[in-house]
């Protein structure tokens, strides 16, 4: 999947009794920095306000009108303060625009040798006033790492990368539709969730009974174009040596049916019933089909773990790389900060050192080896990682979660499925938090350092109580 293009609205603050040339130059510098970072910019024309900045209510109205006209493509707003800025005009612009997007507030630092009336900014102070008014107006916002930071600095480039990640995650959550394919396995009460709480957050769940999936597969001819295209994609995706051709064709039909349904229902991500209906009634596991979707940044979680695939999607949007759903599965010797993360597996190819298709050894003991081909087997490669888990807390009527960071190691591991050794500082504290708060045994993982992005979206813009382990 191609990386998404971000468009940001830009508000340039100005206050008349501070040097206007600072606002003019600050606007030009910020526009240049945003463009150099690959960001499209929506900013008020310099002819429609003094210096192309916002100070009066009339200028706020003009900028808000521009933002409304471009609301379908604006993913977030940057407020830049080259000088003190008018606190009311900034808040008025955002209120009048009716945009519901993330906001980043940046203030340009003064230079000690340029503190005369001709060059003094006072942005240090103005940022506090701007944030105070945004808080009064009920407008959520994010802050740069340092209170003041130059637009052209490396530090601000990192802040901007962090903020655009926030915009991607928040945009991805808006009107999100999740496909629930099949019923939750009876043995997995742990993944129960509230559709109503998700709906209240703007996230819908579209259901599809597994009997409909199997029925469509049975009616699909072996030479069906969609099935043959998917079969070729499977051969290209993973080594299939030793896997019966009949099983591969079943997987291809399964993938084609799911693709067609998701497209028809405008579903973006999915969670699939596996254990053990698909094996008993279709004769394969869905792991490779799900792995392929996750590898394309369209996560698919097993055991109908809807909140699990939502957690995967948050990390994938933040990093623009694939996410996996794993079990917190085993201790690793006596090291309190290491554990084995495992699934049987549908991990995306992106996670593995090497990967091959095989059969699911756990379920094979129940339904037979010939009915369980389709897992993606291998060891997770060494890399930094972020983890996340969101859950609907029905008792308290809220969505909550946790995030954090660690790393997958090169520690030896002799097992089946998809597995890796993860090291997380103070892991025993995290495990206690998971157990004390009744979180699931599933966790989403991503091979990037993006916990801060997901935490900011969850807490500041979605209003979800989220614990950041190790912050």
Strand order across the 142-143 sheet: 40-43, 7-12, 76-81, 103-107, 142-143
Beta-bridge partners for 41: 8
Q: Report yes or no on 1 lying in a domain.
A: no
Name every residue whose Cβ is closer than 8 Å to that of residue 420 and which is 6 or more positions away in sequence.
Answer: 340, 341, 351, 379, 380, 381, 408, 409, 413
| Cβ–Cβ under 8 Å, residues 93 and 54 | yes
The pLDDT assigned to 23 comes to 94
Segments forming the whole domain that contains residue 33 = 7-173
**Given pLDDT bands bounded at 50, 70 and 90, which one contains residue 275?**
confident
Cα 388 to Cα 395: distance, rounded to the nearest angstrom: 21
Strand order across the 176-181 sheet: 203-208, 176-181, 269-272, 300-302
Q: Which of 131, 155, 173 is the last residue of a domain?
A: 173
The pLDDT assigned to 184 comes to 94
Check whether residue 416 and residue 277 sit in a common domain: yes
DSSP 4: P
The pLDDT assigned to 114 comes to 80
Check whether residue 237 and residue 296 sit in a common domain: yes
Check whether residue 126 and residue 188 sit in a common domain: no
**25: part of which helix (H) or strand (E)?**
helix 20-36
User: pLDDT, tens digit, for every residue of 412-462?
Assistant: 999 999 999 999 999 999 999 999 999 999 999 999 999 999 999 999 999
Q: Specify the number of domains making up the chain.
A: 2
Question: What are the E-state strand segments in 69-108?
Answer: 76-81, 103-107
The pLDDT assigned to 468 comes to 98
Q: H helices of 266-329, where? A: 277-281, 287-295, 306-319
**Range in 108-122, 212-226, 248-262 the model is least confident about:** 108-122
**Given pLDDT bands bounded at 50, 70 and 90, which one contains residue 18?**
confident
| Cβ–Cβ under 8 Å, residues 229 and 222 | no
Cis ω on the peptide bond leading into residue 276 (within 30° of 0)? Answer: yes
| Cβ–Cβ under 8 Å, residues 159 and 104 | yes
Q: Which of 155, 173, 191 is the last residue of a domain?
A: 173
The pLDDT assigned to 223 comes to 98
The pLDDT assigned to 16 comes to 76
Neighbours of 312 (CB within 10 A): 32
Instruction: Tell me what the mean pLDDT of segment 16-24 comes to.
Output: 84
User: Has residue 120 got a pLDDT over 70?
Assistant: yes
Check whether residue 403 and residue 271 sit in a common domain: yes
Check whether residue 297 and residue 395 sit in a common domain: yes
Question: What is the phi/psi pair of residue 205, to 5°?
Answer: -120, 125
DSSP three-state, residue 6: coil
User: Has residue 102 got a pLDDT over 90?
Assistant: yes
Instruction: Tell me what the mean pLDDT of segment 38-49 comes to.
Output: 95
The pLDDT assigned to 403 comes to 99
Cα 470 to Cα 265: distance, rounded to the nearest angstrom: 40
Q: Which of 154, 173, 192 is the last residue of a domain?
A: 173
The pLDDT assigned to 232 comes to 98
The pLDDT assigned to 2 comes to 58
Which domain CATH number covers 199?
3.40.275.10
Average pLDDT, the chain: 96
User: pLDDT, tens digit, for every residue of 307-361?
Assistant: 999 999 999 999 999 999 999 999 999 999 999 999 999 999 999 999 999 999 9
């Amino acid at each position: 999947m191609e990386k998404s293009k971000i468009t940001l609205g830009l508000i340039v603050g100005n206050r008349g009794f501070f040097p206007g040339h600072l606002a003019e130059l600050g606007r030009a510098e910020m526009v240049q920095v945003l463009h150099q970072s690959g960001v499209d910019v929506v900013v008020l024309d310099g002819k429609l306000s003094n210096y192309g900045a916002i100070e009066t209510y009339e200028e706020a109205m003009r900028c808000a009108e521009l933002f409304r006209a471009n609301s379908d493509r604006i993913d977030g707003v940057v407020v830049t303060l080259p000088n003190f800025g008018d606190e009311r005009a900034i808040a008025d612009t955002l209120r009048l625009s009716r945009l519901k997007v993330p906001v980043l507030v940046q203030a340009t630092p003064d230079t000690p040798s340029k503190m005369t009336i001709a060059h003094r900014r006072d942005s240090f102070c103005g940022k506090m006033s701007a944030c105070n008014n945004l808080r009064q107006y009920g407008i959520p916002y994010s802050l740069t790492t340092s209170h003041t930071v130059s637009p052209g600095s490396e530090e601000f480039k990192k802040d901007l990368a962090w903020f655009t990640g926030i915009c991607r995650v928040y945009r991805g959550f808006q009107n999100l539709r999740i496909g629930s394919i099949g019923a939750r396995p009876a043995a997995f009460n742990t993944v129960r969730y509230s559709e109503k709480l998700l709906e209240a957050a703007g996230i819908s769940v579209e259901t599809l009974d597994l009997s409909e999936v199997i029925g469509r597969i049975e009616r699909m001819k072996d030479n069906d174009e969609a099935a043959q295209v998917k079969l070729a994609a499977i051969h290209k995706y993973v080594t299939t040596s030793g896997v019966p051709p009949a099983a591969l064709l079943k997987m291809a039909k399964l993938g084609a049916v799911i693709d067609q349904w998701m497209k028809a229902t405008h579903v973006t991500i999915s969670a699939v019933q596996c254990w053990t209906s698909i094996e008993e009634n279709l004769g394969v596991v869905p792991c490779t089909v799900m792995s392929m979707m996750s590898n394309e940044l369209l996560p698919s979680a097993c055991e109908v773990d809807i909140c699990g695939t939502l957690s995967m999607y948050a990390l994938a949007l933040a990093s623009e790389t694939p996410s996996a759903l794993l079990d917190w599965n085993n201790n690793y010797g006596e090291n309190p900060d290491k554990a084995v993360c495992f699934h049987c597996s549908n991990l995306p190819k992106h996670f593995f050192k090497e990967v091959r298709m095989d059969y699911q050894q756990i379920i094979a003991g129940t339904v037979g080896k010939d009915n369980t081909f389709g897992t993606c087997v291998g060891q997770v490669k060494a890399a930094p990682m972020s983890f996340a888990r969101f859950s609907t807390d029905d008792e308290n009527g809220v969505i909550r979660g946790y995030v954090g960071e660690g790393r997958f190691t090169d520690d030896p591991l002799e097992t089946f499925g998809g597995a890796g050794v993860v090291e997380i500082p103070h892991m025993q504290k995290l495990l206690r938090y998971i157990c004390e708060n009744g979180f699931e045994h599933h966790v989403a993982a991503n091979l990037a350092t993006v916990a801060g992005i997901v935490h900011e979206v969850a807490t500041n813009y979605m209003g979800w109580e989220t614990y950041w382990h190790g912050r």
